[in-house]
Amino acid sequence: MGRLQGKRAVVTGAASGIGRASAVLFAKEGAKVVCVDRVAEALEGTLAAIRQAGGTAVAQAADAGDEAAVKAYVERCVAEFGGIDVVYANAGVSGGGTPLLEQTVAYWNEILRINLIGPFLAIRHAAPLMVKQGGGSIVMTASVAGLRANAGMSAYASSKAGVISLAQTAANALYGTGVRVNAVCPGLIETGMTKPIFDGARARGSEGKIGQLNPMRRAGRPEEIAAMALFLASDDASYVNGQAYAVDGGLSSTHPFAGGALKLS
């Protein structure tokens, strides 16, 4: 029996990186999975990997920060699989490297809409169904950048700090319902979002320095974040609620920083 045997799950941002690794792992562990990303065609690789592993999954195109789209992916899970037991609200954007004093309100609005309002909407639309079923698990992707400064740009870090708070506040808002809400805080992981960092290092010949600030002295793999998401989604974490777990090679044990002061253009 897999750790998610018989569970019905949604994974957002499932076309690549942490989302793809998690969707594939959830399916391997017995879940039927609704794979969500902005463009359904981008999910073909994820679906192929799941089917090759003998799992069951469907694709759903959705903007993770749009309420109608979130409602639709929750409804799709219920329609396809008869209910919803797990949501992994993983989709997010970095916002790039725009300096703080050059950031606009529109820039902040978009990052918060996807990174923070998106997980809130997942809770808003999935939790009532889970309450009726007697329980469920909602997992969200935060970041070590949400724990303290210097692991991400201001808007991104603030959005992820909000996700950590949302895990805490939502867990308590759902007091006594059996619905658990937790967050994962990845460190530096090679994904589509972080690709420019890795490509730049390789171009400079400094690939060996990637991840040097953490005690493991390396970057992480999407599968290593997926493993934590699986634990939180599963009944193995039945007494884990309102928590944010760093999976970062030890970076957040000290959060060292190599860089300069605020740069003004």
User: Cα 104 to chain center, whole Å?
Assistant: 25
Q: pLDDT at position 224, please?
A: 97
DSSP-assigned letter for residue 98? -
Given pLDDT bands bounded at 50, 70 and 90, which one contains residue 261? very low
Residue 260 has pLDDT above 70, yes or no: no
> Which pLDDT tens digit goes with each residue over 210-253?
767 788 888 889 999 999 999 999 999 999 999 999 999 998 99
Q: pLDDT at position 263, please?
A: 47
Max intra-chain CA distance, the chain: 57
Strand ranges, E, within 54-112:
56-61, 86-89
Q: How many CA atoms lie within 13 A of 53 on its CB side?
A: 22
Q: Hunting for tokens 């897999």 — which residue is that? A: 2
DSSP-assigned letter for residue 116? I
Active site residue 107: no
Give the domains, in start order, of the chain with CATH numbers: 8-247 (3.40.50.720)
What's phi and psi for 31, nearest 5 deg? Answer: -80, 150
Q: What share of the chain is helix, strand, coil (3-state, %, to 5)?
A: 50, 15, 35
Residues whose CB is less than 8 angstroms from the CB of residue 261 and which lie 6 or more positions away in sequence, other chains included: none
> Which pLDDT tens digit goes with each residue over 8-65?
999 999 999 999 999 999 999 999 999 999 999 999 999 999 999 999 999 999 999 9
Contact 4, 78 (CB under 8 A): no
Distance CA 186, CA 249 (A): 9
Mean pLDDT of 66-94: 98
Distance CA 34, CA 50 (A): 11
* Residue 141 amino acid letter: T
Q: Which two tokens stand for residue 117?
A: 């309002």
Q: Sheet of 244-247: strands edge to edge?
A: 56-61, 32-37, 8-12, 86-89, 136-141, 179-186, 244-247
Catalytic residue among 88, 156, 175, 245: 156
Q: pLDDT at position 205, please?
A: 75
Q: pLDDT at position 149, please?
A: 87
Distance CA 51, CA 231 (A): 22
Q: pLDDT at position 198, please?
A: 67
Residue 195 has pLDDT above 90, yes or no: no
Q: Which two tokens stand for residue 35?
A: 């794979």
Q: How are beta strands 244-247 and 56-61 bridged, if at all?
A: unpaired
pTM: 0.92
Distance CA 96, CA 189 (A): 16
Distance CA 209, CA 118 (A): 34
Given pLDDT bands bounded at 50, 70 and 90, which one contains residue 204? confident
Residues 205/207/212/216 CA torsion (nearest 10 deg) = -150
Over its C-alpha atoms, the chain yields an Rg (Å, rounded) of: 18
Q: pLDDT at position 259, please?
A: 54
Distance CA 160, CA 252 (A): 14
Q: pLDDT at position 262, please?
A: 45
> Which pLDDT tens digit goes with each residue over 154-185?
999 999 999 999 999 999 999 999 999 999 99
